[in-house]
Amino acid sequence: MPELPDIVVYVEALERRIVGQPLAQVRLKTPFLLRTVEPPLTDLVGKVVRRVHRIGKRIVIGFDDDVFVVLHLMIAGRLHWKPLGAKGAGRGDLAAFDFPNGMLTLTEAGTKRRASMYVVRGAAGLAEFQRGGLEVLDATQAEFAERLRSESHTVKRSLTDPRLFSGIGNAYSDEILHRARMSPVKLTGRLTDHDIATLFAATRSTLTEWTERLRAEAVESFPEKVTAFRPEMAVHGKFGEPCPVCGTPIQRIRYADNETNYCARCQTEGRLLADRALSRLLKQDWPRSIDEVV
């Protein structure tokens, strides 16, 4: 799922292309994408884009008359910028927005249709998408600490909870925790002031550095390589590969459609965290230390 750095770069790319441009035509390729009926999608035609911004992991396109399109890309949704009349991507096409200078398309890989689009009016319409998460790059360390300690969860869960923190998901939380040398299952209620200072610095530096990296990649083109798995990442998606800090093979915890990646030596003092499925299967044979598997 595109997270804060990816969404920021998407927003900036859209600002350069569609702000000040009238929407000439909108084509919906699947009825399941649009989750609202009022105002109707056709009301957007002829309106000029006045603003593009981010709410959490959502992209908001503001038109004349205080009307907004809210896009949530979910896991596999992606945006593309093409010349007018360009051929679509096929079954993955969900919607297309024609502007005088080009065409914005929304696609989604796979067969699960999770991406969504809403058309709403005014601040009240946007309010339902405000989950209340703290914008860490605009926050103080004290505000960050207050959010972490407001509920008792694992650090991983707290970082990815949109009610607590805005725009952070599975991928960048892995990178943040590795940089902080902190276990993903450490409880927020047990964090010391030093732990919080370290995590705050790691969160800010990770999000800032990745935003700058992705911004540099898209400086002359539209961001087309949006992915949660990047070669430069330290641990996310790197199960079995060597940790860039200590060389120990990266470990994982799998649950549902997600997995957490971490370095046992850097983050958990060598202790292997229980993988919900595999550790139940192996029971007493489940290794307790990274030294038992390397």
Quickly tell me which residue has 């981010």 as its tokens. Answer: 54
Q: What is the pLDDT of residues 49-73, one digit of tens each?
A: 999 999 999 999 999 999 999 999 9
Asked if residues 207 and 3 have their Cβ atoms less than 8 Å apart, the reply is no
Asked if residues 260 and 252 have their Cβ atoms less than 8 Å apart, the reply is yes
Q: Provide mean pLDDT across the span 226-250.
A: 95
- Sheet hosting strand 49-55, strand order edge to edge: 49-55, 58-63, 67-72, 116-121
Look up the pTM and report it: 0.91
What's the CATH superfamily of 4-127? Answer: MutM-like, N-terminal (3.20.190.10)
Q: Provide mean pLDDT across the span 126-149.
A: 97
Kindly report, as residue ranges, where domains of CATH 3.20.190.10 are found in the chain. Answer: 4-127
Kindly report, as residue ranges, where domains of CATH 1.10.8.50 are found in the chain. Answer: 136-292
Asked if residues 183 and 270 have their Cβ atoms less than 8 Å apart, the reply is no
| Whether residue 187 has pLDDT greater than 70 | yes
How long, in residues, is the chain? 294
* Confidence at residue 26, expressed as pLDDT on a 0 to 100 scale: 96
- As a three-state string, the secondary structure of 149-193 is HHCCCEHHHHHHCCCCECCCCHHHHHHHHHHHCCCCCCEHHHCCH
Q: What is the pLDDT of residues 97-121, one digit of tens each?
A: 999 999 999 999 877 788 999 999 9
| Whether residue 221 has pLDDT greater than 60 | yes
Which token pair is 23? Answer: 């929407």
* Confidence at residue 289, expressed as pLDDT on a 0 to 100 scale: 52
How far is Cα 142 from Cα 147, in angstroms, rounded to an integer?
9
Considering the four listed CATH numbers 3.40.50.150, 1.10.8.50, 3.90.1010.10, 3.40.50.450, the one that applies to the domain covering 136-292 is 1.10.8.50
* Confidence at residue 275, expressed as pLDDT on a 0 to 100 scale: 65
Q: What is the pLDDT of residues 13-45, one digit of tens each?
A: 999 999 999 999 999 988 889 999 999 999 999
| Whether residue 188 has pLDDT greater than 90 | yes
Which token pair is 117? Answer: 């689009």
